[in-house]
Structure 1
Amino acid sequence: MNKIKFNFSILVFSLLIIGCKTQQQPIVVIKKASTFEKLAQIKNIVKIEKNAPVSHFDENYELWFEQPIDYSDLSKGTFRQKVLLGFENDTLPVFVELQGYGIYTEKSGELANHYKANQLTIEHRYFNNSRPENIAWNTLTIENAARDQANIISAIREVIYPTSKFITTGISKGCQTTMAHRKFFPENVDACVCYVGPLNYEREDPRVYEFLNNVGTQQERDSVFNFQELCFENRSALKKILEDTAKERGMSWEFGIEKAIDYTILEYSFAFWQWGTDSKNIPSKDATPQEIYKHLIDVVGYGFFETKAVDDLQPYFWAALTQQGIYGYQTAPFKKYIGTDEVYKFEWAFPEGVYKEYDTRPMQEIKSFLDSTAERMLFIYGEYDAWSSTAVELNKGANKRELYKFVKPKGDHTTRIKNFNKEKQQTIYDIIDSWVK
């Protein structure tokens, strides 16, 4: 028995040798390139860091793209733009978070989390880490920003996700950014989902005033106005508290402490509705100055007017004052306290020594795009959000082009798909499902 086994083994071994000699073809093992190696192939990526995984992503990358400062004049040089890639699978959809500001988290957003899919997050040019030392302000346009994003999306799509669906999404100014990218590069992605973003037609869009005069109930609006009057009646005491706080925290205001308290009080009505403040929390008329001040700052904060905050937000103010629009403050109801009925504006927020007229064309062109040729766009708004005063309006034929708008009753600026009832959530996700398949 042992002899038979041995002879059979020799026979098999001999046949293997004969087969190898006859075919003369070596076995080649092809190693699939890693995500890191694929990213390294992109010519305008100048730095790649692989970070610890977050959310559901298997891999997490921080990328730096070298981008032209001005696409119409390449001699102006380049800047570096920060991008995050949450990689899950190269066949799953990619949700592209277009930031209107800087990147504030590596975690997955609502859509990438819902689908357990990939996420590409693009920091807006000239914000946070993507801010050159000396900004050429005239190069901060919605078209240049859209070109940045198109460059990045195209490069990532080509080397990592050639067969995946790409959906852009953005919140607030990120929604404005998403609309602009869709307008300039409608074929760059497959669809987009926009959250709580305004479409302003003027630098100080008057629709804001009409909205604030009609939002909510009369009782709620009266409570807001009465609190603003209470603040003005206690103006001296509030200013003293602000001065003391400024000394403690090293804060200052370009237009001085007097205007700082006035602007803060005037901003209260917009911020109240933007962030969904409960009118039951408004202090009564017999509240102390400290109680009044605390509520005022809890709602408005320091981050819109204070010098350092304005410097950090300078790219926002530039965009708002030159192309994307903002609002002003009606002072007529408080003339007896302020001494004027002129609208308070934001021209003071321009970079020092720089001014530019507001160009109405970009937002009108986006409106025309939405009214005529835009496809596969979904808009989310909160009914009571002050920024809904200038929300996108869709015409009657919009649904034929797969344009949809959903408004959360009494919702504020934090409104997301998850805030709708289950039935409405299902309707929204059914639409997005059809885009990502």
Structure 2
Amino acid sequence: MRNKAIPALICAALISGTAAFTGAAPASAASAYSASGDISEQLARIPGLTVVSVADKGGYPYYTLTLTQPVDHRHPGKGGTFQQRFTLWHKDAAKPMVLYTGGYTLATSTREITTLLDSNQVSVEHRFFAESRPAEVDWKDLTVWQEASDEHAIVTALKSIYTGKWLGTGASKGGMTQVYHERYYPHDLDAVVAYVAPDDANNKDDSGYEKFFRTVGTQECRDALNAVQREMLVRRPAMLQRFEATSAEQSLTFQYLGSADRAFEFSVLDQVWNFWQSGSAANCSTIPDAKTATDDELYTWSLGHGLSIYSDQGNGAEGTGPYYRQAAAQLGWADLKFKHLKDLRHYPDIYQPNSVLPADMRTSYNGQAISSTDRWVSTSGRQMMFIYGQNDPWSAERFKPSKHDSALYEAPGSNHGALISKLTPEDRAAAEATVKRWAGQ
């Protein structure tokens, strides 16, 4: 189940990797701003683009911008418009440009390949997240093609200024977003570097995820985690009491899921996934003995190691609800079997994205766009690089690059924060050289 930990992970810039590379020394703030005047004027001349603000970032101008986008790119004159937020870190119009989306709200971090290439960077807020939405949202317009078309409009507008190579990048849902952009508009970008991007090409087949949880880490660690997860449900009354107390302290409610008990079970089901997503094998030594741990020890450890609370406050339209809507409609989800919990589950059909959504955002699934993208990447995609983490559950079902100057690398021991800088020295050198070549350096 894709969960609310992902936006926090990405937006906190866990995958920024800025310390891994040494870029060219920035110009002084004074010289950067003196050079930015012409860029400001050029930006102001782009139809539909608004310069909201400009600040300093590392001695270079950092613009916050909006672009007027049609709600429906298929019928741009009929469905109204919205203002899509994005930022521009300007260094030199002739340098490469990195186009980044986190797949959620507007992220401000400097990306790994931006530092490697000493490039400009554009960061885009995904349509219908945060401020990038119309006053009245029709959720049927939240599709991967519509967002790809949003980004196409931004790229088209800015290419009138930035003449160097363009590389798309993103992590997790942001990596998926860049892949879909490349699929629908293959001439926009010169290359794509996607980090830990899941590819749920067949939503009915979760064998890749099931295999991951049978093989990740050591048998001892897997058994200990499963035992803790099971014990949380064995002791449901005591754990639910603590879960409700934590929720009350944080003023959390569970109208979408239906009850605190349903929310508790949902959160327990996600616990092991979250443990591996953001933790590491080193955390295995902290796992308590499920049989001998006290109720407080069991709950406290779980709360700090993967027990996320799925509440109305985090999962509605103003939070990560747009992501769950996309998962329910197109992206898919991991419907794990949880055989070791079968006799303890009260709600066997709860582990799917519609469960955490308000009624007006729920929908039925159509995976045609995702499966066709999967085939396109493996047969026709060009200059695409995929970085995955060995111990990351999101990396269990992954894109398979074609033979057209494309590559896949796995960072040993890494979780959902896998980076080029975390690859083996040999793979890192090869990946960096490829990215630089794609950027014309």
Matches within 5 A, 1:51-200: 51=55, 53-54=56-57, 56=58, 58-74=60-76, 75-105=78-108, 107-158=109-160, 160-162=161-163, 164-200=164-200
Q: Indicate the structure with greater helix content.
A: 1
User: Would you say the 8 A contact 2:325–2:362 is kept in 1?
Assistant: no
TM-score by length of 1: 0.86
TM-score by structure 2 length?
0.85
Q: Deviations over 1:301-333 (max 9, x none)?
A: 546x21111011111011111111112242442
* 1:380 correspondence with 2:387: yes
Q: Is the 8 A contact 2:167 2:190 kept in 1?
A: yes
Tell me if 1:308 matches 2:313.
Answer: yes
1:328–1:346 contact (8 Å) kept in structure 2: no
Matches within 5 A, 1:29-40: 34-40=38-44
Find the partner of 2:49 among 41, 45, 48.
45
For structure 1, which segment, 95-104 or 229-238, has the greater mean C-alpha deviation from structure 2 after superposition?
229-238
Which residue of structure 2 lines up, in the alignment, with residue 28 of structure 1? none
Higher RCO (CA < 8 A, seq sep 6+): 2
Contact 2:43 2:51 in 1 (8 A): no
The amino acid of 1:44's aligned partner reads G
Give, in whole Å, the separation in 2 of the partners of 1:203 and 1:321.
Answer: 10
Shift of 1:422: 2.9
The alpha-carbon deviation at position 297 of structure 1 amounts to 1.9
Question: Shift of the alpha carbon at 1:134?
Answer: 2.4
Shift, 1:33, TM fit: 5.9
Say if 1:203 and 1:320, in contact at 8 Å, map to a contact too: no
Is the 8 Å Cα contact of residues 202 and 326 (structure 1) preserved in structure 2? no
2:353 to 346, 352, 355: 346
How many residues align? The count is 397
The answer as to whether partners of 1:331 and 1:341 remain within 8 angstroms in 2 is no
**Aligned CA-pair RMSD:** 1.9
- In the alignment, is the contact (CA less than 8 A) between 1:87 and 1:118 conserved in 2? yes
Cα deviation digits, residues 155-197 of structure 1 (max 9, x gap): 1111x212x1100001000011011000000000111100001
Residue of structure 1 in register with 2:301 after alignment: 295
Q: Secondary structure at the match of 2:68?
A: strand
**Equivalent pair of 2:325/2:357 in contact (CA under 8 Å):** yes
The answer to which of 270-279 and 77-86 deviates more is: 270-279
Match of 2:245 in 1: 244
Measure how far apart 1:203 and its partner are. Answer: 4.1
Q: Is the 8 A contact 1:331 1:338 kept in 2?
A: no
Between Structure 1 and Structure 2, whose CA radius of gyration is higher? 1
Closer, same or farther in 2 for the Cα pair 1:57/1:88, shift >3 Å? farther
Shift of residue 132, structure 1, vs aligned partner: 2.9
Unpaired stretches in structure 2, ≥5 consecutive residues: 1-34
Deviation at 1:360, TM superposition (A): 1.9
Give 1:57 shift: 5.3
CA distance in 1 between counterparts of 2:312 and 2:380 reads 42
Question: What's the counterpart of residue 422 of structure 2?
Answer: 419
> 1:228 Cα shift?
0.8
Change in Cα spacing, 1:252 to 1:205, as seen in structure 2 (3 Å) is farther
How far, CA to CA, are the matches of 1:39 and 1:299 in structure 2? 46
Percent of aligned positions that are identical: 25
Q: Helix, strand or coil: the match of 1:411? A: coil
1-structure distance, mates of 2:38, 2:347: 65
Structure 2 SS opposite 1:127: coil
- For residue 279 of structure 1, what is the aligned residue in structure 2? 284
Aligned to 1:34, the other structure's residue is in SS state helix
Give the SS at the match of 2:366. Answer: coil
